[in-house]
């Protein structure tokens, strides 16, 4: 079962856990495998250093991520159970994704076949339909923020950049440029359709093994994104080319809606999505 609830609102602390191996290091901290002492429940514990967060003025962004994550429950969204902090660190209790990070899998396989790619398209579209229904836009969809569950299903993680739509970006852009939508580059107001753009870029990168607007310099990548200079290798199947071309439209409102991505003939025929058995969500950690 889930992490048992003690009393009404359980205040967690580090002593409640046995810390396992590090799952990865980041700029502001690290993620460890952890086991809750009483229930032996396995989870991922993300440790962030308050000093680093303050220096980068990201405390408000973390507060927003916690606020947003604590209300999201979907099989393709990495579950957030609870959080706690001590004098120097903030701890996020997150679902453990047993099959690791999608981008490492993509590096290992070079590219994915149609079945695997179409299944990911169905899963991420369903997760985003759920987020957008709550006016949450992720804004940072890319292989680095996607994890793989027990059955290889996609788990959308890292809502650090997510906001409530509509929104104007306030903090400077950092990290990969390949997934930026044209309106994000121009700093124009953006809405849920930035996530739809990223689904198109992800579909291309999964099938081809490199991003559609990849270029030697950041500036050239921006130019290719704004022109939507889309070039497919000859072997990309027509169904996938049709889907990607309908998503990667410069005009946000003309992009194929998520529901129609899920119903696209190529996705319908190639996807082998397995939904986990629905279980009554034991009131895990009182979130």
Ligand X SMILES: Clc1ccc(CN2CCN(c3c(Br)cnc4[nH]c(-c5ccc(CN6CCOCC6)cc5)nc34)CC2)cc1
Q: Which string of DSSP letters, residue by residue, matches 17-49? A: EEEEEEEEE-SSEEEEEEEETTT--EEEEEEEE
24 counts as binding ligand X under rule CB under 6 A: yes
121 counts as binding ligand X under rule CB under 6 A: no
DSSP secondary-structure letter at 190? B
236 counts as binding ligand X under rule CB under 6 A: no
How distant is the alpha carbon of residue 29 from its chain centre? Answer: 18
Cβ nearer to ligand X, comparing 46 with 264:
46
Q: Is the dihedral of CA 119, 283, 164, 253 positive or negative?
A: positive
Per CB under 6 A, the list member of 3, 23, 118, 163 interacting with ligand X is 23
Per CB under 6 A, the list member of 3, 12, 16, 31 interacting with ligand X is 31
Single out the segment in contact with ligand X by CB under 6 A; choices: 27-35, 212-220, 247-255, 263-271: 27-35
Residue count at the site for ligand X (CB under 6 A)? 20
Rounded to whole angstroms, the Cα distance separating 50 from 54 reads 6
Please indicate whether residue 140 is annotated as part of the active site.
yes
89 to 108: interface string for ligand X, x by CB under 6 A: -----x-xxxxxx-------
Rounded to whole angstroms, the Cα distance separating 82 from 152 reads 24
Per CB under 6 A, the list member of 58, 157, 208, 256 interacting with ligand X is 157
Contact assessment for residue 106 and residue 143, using Cβ atoms and an 8 Å cutoff: yes
Does residue 240 sit in helix, strand or coil? helix
Q: Which residues are catalytic?
A: 140
Applying CB under 6 A, which residues contact ligand X?
Answer: 23-26, 28-31, 44, 46, 48, 94, 96-101, 147, 157
């Amino acid at each position: 079962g889930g992490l048992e609830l003690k009393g009404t609102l359980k205040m967690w602390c580090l002593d409640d856990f046995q810390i396992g191996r590090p799952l990865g290091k980041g700029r502001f901290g690290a993620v460890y495998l952890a086991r809750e002492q009483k229930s032996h429940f396995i989870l991922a514990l993300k440790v962030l250093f308050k000093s680093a967060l303050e220096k980068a003025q990201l405390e408000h962004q973390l507060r927003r991520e916690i606020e947003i994550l604590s209300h999201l429950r979907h099989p393709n969204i990495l579950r957030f159970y609870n959080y706690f902090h001590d004098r120097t660190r903030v701890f996020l209790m997150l679902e453990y994704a047993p099959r690791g990070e999608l981008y490492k899998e993509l590096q290992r396989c070079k590219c994915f076949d149609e079945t695997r790619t179409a299944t990911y398209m169905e899963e991420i579209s369903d997760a985003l339909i759920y987020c957008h229904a709550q006016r949450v836009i992720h804004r940072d969809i890319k292989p680095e923020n996607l994890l793989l569950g027990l059955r290889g299903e996609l788990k959308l993680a890292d809502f650090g950049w997510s906001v409530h739509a509509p929104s104007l970006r306030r903090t400077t852009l950092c990290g990969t440029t390949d997934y930026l939508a044209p309106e994000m580059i121009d700093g124009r107001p953006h809405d849920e359709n930035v996530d739809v753009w990223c689904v198109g870029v992800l579909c291309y990168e999964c099938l081809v093994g490199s991003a559609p607007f990849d270029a030697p310099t950041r500036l050239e990548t921006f130019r290719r994104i704004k022109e939507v200079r889309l070039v497919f290798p000859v072997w990309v199947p027509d169904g996938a080319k049709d889907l990607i071309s309908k998503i990667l439209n410069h005009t946000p409102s003309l992009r194929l809606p998520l529901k129609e991505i899920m119903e696209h003939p190529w996705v319908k025929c190639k996807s082998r999505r397995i939904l986990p058995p629905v279980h009554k969500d034991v009131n895990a950690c009182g979130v």
